[in-house]
Amino acid sequence: MNGERRLKIRFFMSLTLISICSVLVLATALFFWFRGKTVDYVNKANDSVLLNTETVFAKYMESVQNYTLAFYRHPNINSVMQSGDSSWSDQLFSALSQIKGTLTVNPYLENAYIMGKDGPVMMFENSPLSEASKRELFERVRDGLIKESPFVWNATLNNGAPVTVMMTYYNDKVYADSEYTGAIAIMTNLGKLQENIFTNVAGGDTRYAVLSSEGGVLMQSNPFGAEYEDELLQRIVRGSRPSGTLIWKTDDGRKELITYRLSPGQNLWFLSETSYRNSVRDISNAMTLMIALCVGLAAVASGVAAFVSHRMYKPIGTLFGHIRSLSGERLSLTSAGGFEEANRELERIAGRFGELKRENEDSALLSWLTTPYRSGEELPSALPLLKNSSGHAAFFVAVLQLEAAYGDGGTSSDAADRLDGLKGLPRVIEGLFEGTCACRGFFPNPGTAVLIVSEAREGSFGDQGISRERWEQLEQSVRAWPGTRCHIAISRLSDDPSQLKAMYEEARDGMQYLKFQYGTPIVYAEEAALLSDEAMPDDALEKVLQVVRDQKHEMIPRAVERVLAEAGGYRAEKATVALSRLASDLSAIAESGVAGGHSRHADFLEHYQRIWSFSSYEELRAWFEQLCFRAYEMLKARNAVQTRDVAGEAIAYIRKHFADPTLSLNLLADKLAISPPYLSRLITESTGSSFPDFVNLVRLEHARELLVSELEMDIRAIAEKSGYGSSTYFTTLFKKRYGMTPTKWRLNHIVQHGE
C-alpha cells in the first residue's frame, strides 16, 4: 500500500501545482499588462506636454529670428553694417529706437549687436558682455552660416560671471565661400525665457527641462537648485534614440519616470521627470485585490485537485491490482509504485505473451514434423505414407503465406474465406498433380501453411519441370481469391525422412528472397542456392545516395528499383546487410541534412531487423522510397538556407563595391563560384529587382546622400563617387527615379531645411 499511497499523493501534488502555477501566471500577466497601460498613459501625457513646450519654444525662436532678419534688412541699419559709420541721423535714430523698443517689449531679449566687416559697430546691452566674449561672438557670426543660427553659447559677462545664452544672428551666408557683408545678432536670456515657457506647466510632481546637445540644462520648470544628475543627462543625449522613456533610480533610492524627445530643428532635448511611485499608484490598489484573488483561486484549485485525484485513482488502483495478479512480482510494484513501473511490467507481460504464442506455434509445428505415426516407427507424422509401394518416397516442403493485396486490407469475410481456402490446399495440390502426389498440411497461423508433398508411389514425380507448372497453377488459383496475394517457397527434393525438418527450414528461409524479386511469387531452393554469396558492392548503394544528393526527385523510384533488382542476385543475408547500410546512410541524411561525413551504421541492427521482417517486394520498396524522399526533403531545405546565404553575400558585396565602375554580374558570379544566370535569379528573388536595377538603386541612394551632405561637391564628382563614369548618364537615371535632376533635388533640400 506504500506505493499506492505515494502514487495518489503524486496525483494530488501534480494537479495542485499545475492549478496554482496557472493562477500565478494569469495574475502576473494581468499585473504587467496593467502596469504597462498605466506607464504608457503617463508617458503619453508627458510627451504631449513636451511637444507643446517644444512648439512654444520654437515660436519664441522664430520670433527672434524674424526680429534679426527685419533689422538686417532695414536700409539704415544695413548702411551702418556696410560702412561702419555710426554718425547720428534721423533715419538711424529711428532704426535704433526700433531695436531698443524690441528689447524693452521682450524682456527675455538681453542684447542686440550690429556687426560690421571688422567688428561690432553698434550694440545694445542690458547685460554687457566682456570684450573677449564680444570678439568671440563677432568671429563666430562672421564665420558661421545662417543654418547654424541659433546656437547655445557659454559667454562671460563684463563682471566676469559666466552665462549660458541663446544667440540668434543673420549674415546672409548660405555657403562656406559666400561673402560676409555684416550681421545682426540678438542674445536671448534663457533664464527669463523659461519663465514664459514653463508658466503653464509648473507645479505638481512633474518637472520639465530643456537640454543642450551636450547635456547641459538650459531651462527648467523648477528652481535651478534642484539639479538633474549628470549621468542621467548624458545617458539621454548620448543615446541612439531620439525619444523614449526610462526608469531612473536616484542616489537617494527614489525611482523617477523619465520621458524625453529630441527637437531636430533646434538640436535641443526636452525632458520630463515624474515620480514613478505616483505614476503607478493605481497598481498598489490593484495588487491587494490580485493577491487575495490568487489565494482564493489557489485554495479552490487545491480542493478540486484533491477531489479529481481521488476519483482518478479509483480505476487506476484497480488496474494496478490486475497488473500485480498478472505479474507475480508484487513486491517490486508495492515498494516502487508509479506509472513507469506499471508500464514496464505491462510491456514485459505483452512481450512474454508474444513469445509464448510463437513458442506454441513453433512447438506445434516441430511436433507435427518430428512425431512418428506410431510408437517405434521412424516415419514422421507430417510425411504422407506411400500408397502402393514400399521404401522411402521422395518429398519436398513448401511454405505458403497469404496476405492482403498491397493497398487493400480486405474485409473480415474475405479473411474468413482465405482461411477456409488455406485448409483446403492439400486436396487442391493433389488434384493439380493428378494423383502423382500425397499432400499433408499444417497451419500454424491464419496466413501461413506448411505443405509436405511426397510421391504417391515411388518414382511418380518424374520430370520436375512438370511440378513447377503445378505450383504456378496453384499460385494463380490462390491469387484469384478476393483481395489475396500468395507467396510460395519450395525446398529441394529429398527421400530421407530425417531431413524433413531441414527441408522445412530451407523453404522457410526461401521466403526471404521474395522481397527482393519484383513480380516473383515463387522461390525454388535450387535457384536460391545459385545466388552470390559475396558481399554486395558499395557502388550499387552509392547510386541511390548520389541521386538523393543531386536532388533528382523524379529519379528516386527508378534508383530504388535498380538497387533492389541488384540485391535480388545475392543471398538474403548479404543483401539485407547491404540494404541496412544504405538505410542507415539515408536516415543519417534525413536527420542531419549532411550528405556525407556522418557516423555510418549507428542504427544498423534496427534497420536489419526491419528489412528482414518485410514479407513483400512492395513493402520493402515503399519503405526505401520513403527514406529517400525524407533525405531529399532535408537536403532541399538545407540547400534553401544556403541559397539565401549566397544571395546575402551577393547583396553585401554590391553594397560595399557599388562605386566600382567595373562591377558586373559575371564578375560577381566568378567571385561567388556560381553561374551568372543562377546568381541573377537569386538576386531577383531576394530584392525584387534585377541585378542592374539593384546596382543602380544602391548607387542612386548613395548619390542622394552626397547631394545633401556634401553641398560643395559638384555633380560630376558625385557621379564618379557613386560608380558612374558619365555625369549625363547619372543625371538621366536620377531624374528617371526621383522625378527631378540632382541639382534641383539639392536646391529643394536647401530651401526646405534652411541650408
pLDDT tens column, 638-672: 776 666 578 888 888 998 888 888 888 988 888 87
Percent above pLDDT 70 for the chain:
79
Residue 122 has a pLDDT of 87
With b meaning 16 or more CB within 10 Å and e meaning fewer, what string describes 79-105? bbbeeeeeeeeeebeebbeebeebbee
Q: Could you tell me the pLDDT band of residue 4, with boundaries at 50, 70 and 90?
A: low
Q: How far apart are CA 387 and CA 384, in angstroms?
A: 9
Triad 529, 535, 538: Cα angle to 5°: 140
Helix (H) and strand (E) counts for the chain?
26, 15
Give the fold, CATH level 3, of 74-196. Beta-Lactamase (3.30.450)
- List, in sequence order, the alpha helices (H) in 74-113: 75-83, 90-105
DSSP per-residue letters across 477-516: HHHTSTTEEEEEEE---B--GGGHHHHHHHHHHHGGGGGG
- For residue 246, the cross-strand partners are 258
The residue written with cell numbers 481456402 in the block is 421
Closest C-alpha among 403, 620, 606 to residue 516: 620
Closest C-alpha among 568, 458, 582 to residue 513: 568
Residue 331 has a pLDDT of 43
pLDDT tens column, 355-390: 666 656 667 777 777 776 654 555 677 777 655 445
Residue 661 has a pLDDT of 86
Residue 373 has a pLDDT of 60
Distance set, CA 342 to CA 13, 313, 323, 652 (Å): 20, 14, 7, 60
Residue 332 has a pLDDT of 46
Q: How many CA atoms lie within 13 A of 126 on its CB side?
A: 19
The residue written with cell numbers 537640454 in the block is 211
Beta strand 395-404 pairing with 183-189: unpaired
Residue 112 has a pLDDT of 92
Residue 336 has a pLDDT of 45
What pTM value is reported for the model?
0.42
- Return the C-alpha cell found at 614: 518485410
Closest C-alpha among 266, 294, 234, 280 to residue 36: 280
Among 58-67, 340-349, 464-473, name the one with the lowest average pLDDT: 340-349
Q: How far apart are CA 609 and CA 576, in angstroms?
A: 9
Q: Could you tell me the pLDDT band of residue 683, with boundaries at 50, 70 and 90?
A: confident
Among 280-289, 293-302, 574-583, name the one with the lowest average pLDDT: 280-289
Averaged pLDDT, 22-37: 73
Q: Mean pLDDT highest for which of 329-343, 391-405, 548-562?
A: 548-562
Give the fold, CATH level 3, of 658-753. Arc Repressor Mutant, subunit A (1.10.10)
Sign of CA dihedral 197, 199, 201, 203: positive
Q: Could you tell me the pLDDT band of residue 184, with boundaries at 50, 70 and 90?
A: very high
Per domain, the residue ranges of the chain are 74-196, 387-528, 538-640, 658-753
Closest C-alpha among 2, 728, 703, 674 to residue 336: 2
Q: Are 123 and 187 in contact (CB under 8 A)?
A: no
Domains 74-196 and 387-528 are alike in CATH topology: no
Beta strand 484-490 pairing with 522-524: parallel
Q: How far apart are CA 550 and CA 6, in angstroms?
A: 57
Q: Tell me: cis bond preceding 150? Omega within 30 of 0 counts.
A: yes
pLDDT tens column, 214-264: 888 888 886 544 678 888 888 888 888 888 888 888 877 778 888 888 887
pLDDT tens column, 104-125: 888 888 899 999 888 898 888 8
pLDDT tens column, 360-369: 666 777 777 7
**Using the 8-state DSSP alphabet, how is residue 202 labeled?**
-
pLDDT tens column, 525-543: 888 888 888 888 888 888 8
Percent above pLDDT 90 for the chain:
7
Q: Could you tell me the pLDDT band of residue 598, with boundaries at 50, 70 and 90?
A: very low
User: In terms of pLDDT, which residue wins out, 553 or 418?
Assistant: 553
- In SS3 terms, 409-439 reads as CCCHHHHHHHHHHHHCHHHHHHHHCCCCEEE
Averaged pLDDT, 682-686: 85
Q: Are 463 and 497 in contact (CB under 8 A)?
A: no
Averaged pLDDT, 37-62: 78
- Return the C-alpha cell found at 447: 496466413
Residue 636 has a pLDDT of 79
Q: Are 138 and 129 in contact (CB under 8 A)?
A: no
Residue 99 has a pLDDT of 85
Q: Could you tell me the pLDDT band of residue 414, with boundaries at 50, 70 and 90?
A: low
Q: Superfamily for 387-528?
A: Reverse transcriptase/Diguanylate cyclase domain (3.30.70.270)
Averaged pLDDT, 201-209: 68
Residue 202 has a pLDDT of 47
Radius of gyration of the chain (CA): 49
pLDDT tens column, 714-745: 888 998 988 888 888 889 988 888 888 888 88
Q: Are 271 and 208 in contact (CB under 8 A)?
A: yes
CA 623 from chain centre, in angstroms, equals 30
Sheet with 437-445, strands from edge to edge, namely: 437-445, 448-455, 395-404, 484-490, 522-524
Q: Are 493 and 398 in contact (CB under 8 A)?
A: no
With b meaning 16 or more CB within 10 Å and e meaning fewer, what string describes 518-551? eeebbbbbeebeebeeeebeeebbeebbebbeee
Q: Could you tell me the pLDDT band of residue 335, with boundaries at 50, 70 and 90?
A: very low
**Using the 8-state DSSP alphabet, how is residue 228 labeled?**
P
Q: How far apart are CA 521 and CA 401, in angstroms?
A: 10
Q: Could you tell me the pLDDT band of residue 315, with boundaries at 50, 70 and 90?
A: low
Residue 257 has a pLDDT of 81
Report the chain's mean pLDDT, rounded to a whole number: 79
Q: Are 749 and 755 in contact (CB under 8 A)?
A: yes
Triad 330, 331, 334: Cα angle to 5°: 85
